[in-house]
Chains A and B, each alone.
Chain A
Amino acid sequence: MSTAPFVDSLRCRECARAYPVEALHVCEFCFGPLEVAYDYEAIAASVTREKIAAGPSTIWRYADLLPASAENPVNLGAGFTPLVRADRLAAELGLGELWIKNDTLNPTGSFKDRVVSVALTKARELGFKVAACASTGNLANSVAAHAARAGMESIVFIPYDLEQAKIITTAVYGGTLIAVDGSYDDVNRLCAELTSEHPAWAFVNVNVRTYYAEGSKTLAYEVAEQLGWQAPDHVVVPIASGSQLTKIHKGFQELHQVGLLDGDEPPHVRISGAQAEGCSPVATAFAENSDIIRPQRPSTIAKSLAIGNPADGFYALDIVRKTGGAIGSVTDPEIVDAIRLLARTEGIFAETAGGVTIATLAKLAASGVIRRDERVVAYVTGNGLKTIDAVSPHVGPTATIAPTLDAFNEAAVDAGLSLED
């Protein structure tokens, strides 16, 4: 079985100890997370804009920069989602050039398809036949779907109180789905222990997480390619574990390193993070100018971001500070308002995590952190159909009428519709 040609080794992010390219995620010495180390010179010699443009319209167009072989990927078509100019939303928020990375349009409706496609491709390379995960919902959907596609068995663990839609859209793929009486952090802890007991299972966000997390780099690659191989000035990214934010940063830096970006200098992309107030351990540390991230017990409608003990929180905090960004937090009503604002101005229906991103974008724009002269990209990473409960109390038919012209005319007057033409 062929493997990714440019992967050198795995390396501890804390103490830099090197490890072989296997199903390892934690440094045996200090418990620090392992990162994939690449031979960037070899990548630079292989990759070109033309080669990428001739590749598939999926994340696998960036195969040279991914840790699994693109020869036979576990692929439902994740990635290469639209980057849309959002002038109407920008006008509402007083911003200049604003873009939305619409990652609601992935095969199972969230950015998780990117990471899972990489994780299961690598898991299959490593000989695994069972795919497992702990999930707040989006990952559950994606693992169940990709495992079905790959003919792998799936075992998915979720908190019992997930949105009904996310439960059904996982269960339909026919794998094993275990609802755990506890929070996501409880589920995660259980899965960390299960990983020790069942080494033959590929827990995508535990023992193959090192590879899995790399899939999020494609969120940076695509934005740069879609902007004509330029990095934006400022991006807004939701924070759950913090992994996605750190990988978007890594993605922009790598593009420079392998010579794909315009300009000779490394890109300076300000990276800002978004959390729900009901689960804001990283935003709290940022606001308090602290390096200590205190775990929280989440209570928010943004369940896909409800990780009270974020493993990559330290790194996300560090990157936001280093790049001159900020981390905002928003209330549940602000999340709902932002979902409706994005839908009303741009025709994009986001799940609650997208509401967190847009509400934070609005706050950071209002406070002047995000400037009018910046080219801004907001990452909207999940589809609103998954969290319909969040908005269902607030939207519905304008009127319910009898099937007659009179009834319609009356309702139209009540609704303030113009009937002139």
Chain B
Amino acid sequence: MPILRIPTQLRTLTGGAGEVAVDGATVGDALKALDAAHPGFGERLFDADGKLRRFVNVFVADEDIRFLQGTDTPVTDTTTVSIIPAVAGG
């Protein structure tokens, strides 16, 4: 099962856990499974149109999914998927 890494801001939904294993063959499936296991993720990660909110960044094996196939990006049992809020720079 792919591993999802959960940022601090969303750990209230996982009972404090920083990593959660879920089923799914794509990023989108895995995030849906996450919402099923821990209700509340769906509305926080996706907007009313079902698209990822613009300040939510998702990385598969350290690569931004916008450089891959978005939520259709395939994941395997050994994949780590990180959910990270956008941050500013300098």
Q: Cβ of A31 and Cβ of B86 under 8 Å apart?
A: yes
Q: Which of B62, B82, B86 contacts A309 (CB 8 A)?
A: B86
Known: A189-B84, A192-B84, A193-B84. A26 touches B89 (CB 8 A): no
Residue of A nearest to B9 (CB): A28
Contacts of B59 in A (CB 8 A): 189
A112 at the B interface (CB under 8 A): yes
Contacts of A314 in B (CB 8 A): 54
Q: Which segment of A133-141, A254-262, A268-276, A401-409 sits at the interface?
A: A133-141
A209 at the B interface (CB under 8 A): yes
Q: Cβ of B56 and Cβ of A241 under 8 Å apart?
A: no
Number of residues on chain A facing chain B (CB within 8 A): 48
Known: A28-B9, A295-B66. A309 touches B57 (CB 8 A): yes
Q: Cβ of B56 and Cβ of A31 under 8 Å apart?
A: yes
B32 at the A interface (CB under 8 A): no
Contacts of A188 in B (CB 8 A): 87, 89
CA distance A168 to B62 in the complex (A): 29
Q: Cβ of A196 and Cβ of B67 under 8 Å apart?
A: no
B69 at the A interface (CB under 8 A): no
Q: Cβ of B89 and Cβ of A241 under 8 Å apart?
A: yes
Residue of A nearest to B7 (CB): A196
Q: Cβ of B64 and Cβ of A295 under 8 Å apart?
A: yes
Q: How far is the CB of B84 from chain A (nearest CB, A)?
A: 5
CA distance A14 to B55 in the complex (A): 9
Residues 133-175 of chain A, each 1 if its beta carbon lies under 8 Å from chain B, else 0: 1111011000000000000000000000000000000000000
A199 at the B interface (CB under 8 A): yes
Residues 10-53 of chain A, each 1 if its beta carbon lies under 8 Å from chain B, else 0: 00001000000000011111111100000000000000000000
Mark out the residues of chain B between 26 and 73 whose CB falls within 8 Å of any chain A CB in the assembled complex. 44, 53-57, 59, 62, 64, 66-67
B10 at the A interface (CB under 8 A): yes
Q: Which of B55, B82, B84 contacts A30 (CB 8 A)?
A: B55
Contacts of B76 in A (CB 8 A): none
Q: Cβ of A136 and Cβ of B89 under 8 Å apart?
A: yes
Q: Cβ of B55 and Cβ of A241 under 8 Å apart?
A: no
B79 at the A interface (CB under 8 A): no
Known: A26-B55, A28-B9, A30-B55. A192 touches B90 (CB 8 A): no
Residue of A nearest to B90 (CB): A139
Contacts of A355 in B (CB 8 A): none
CA distance A310 to B89 in the complex (A): 8
Contacts of B90 in A (CB 8 A): 112, 115, 133-136, 138-139, 205, 240-241, 304
Contacts of B84 in A (CB 8 A): 189, 192-193
Q: How far is the CB of B54 from chain A (nearest CB, A)?
A: 6
Contacts of B12 in A (CB 8 A): 28
Q: Which of B10, B82, B88 contacts A205 (CB 8 A)?
A: B88
Contacts of A186 in B (CB 8 A): 62
Contacts of A242 in B (CB 8 A): 88
A219 at the B interface (CB under 8 A): no
Contacts of A184 in B (CB 8 A): 89
Q: Which of A14, A32, A185, A192 contacts B7 (CB 8 A)?
A: A192
Q: Cβ of B67 and Cβ of A295 under 8 Å apart?
A: yes
A206 at the B interface (CB under 8 A): yes
CA distance A240 to B7 in the complex (A): 24
CA distance A401 to B62 in the complex (A): 55
Residue of B nearest to A204 (CB): B90
Contacts of B85 in A (CB 8 A): 25-26, 31, 192
Q: Cβ of B86 and Cβ of A206 under 8 Å apart?
A: no
Known: A186-B62, A192-B84, A295-B66. A29 touches B89 (CB 8 A): no
Beyond the given pairs A139-B89, A186-B62, A188-B89, 12 more chain A to chain B contacts, judged by CB atoms under 8 angstroms and listed by A's residue number, are A26-B9, A31-B86, A33-B88, A135-B89, A191-B87, A205-B88, A240-B89, A241-B90, A243-B88, A295-B66, A297-B67, A311-B87
Residues of B within 8 A of A (CB): 5, 7-10, 12, 18, 44, 53-57, 59, 62, 64, 66-67, 82, 84-90
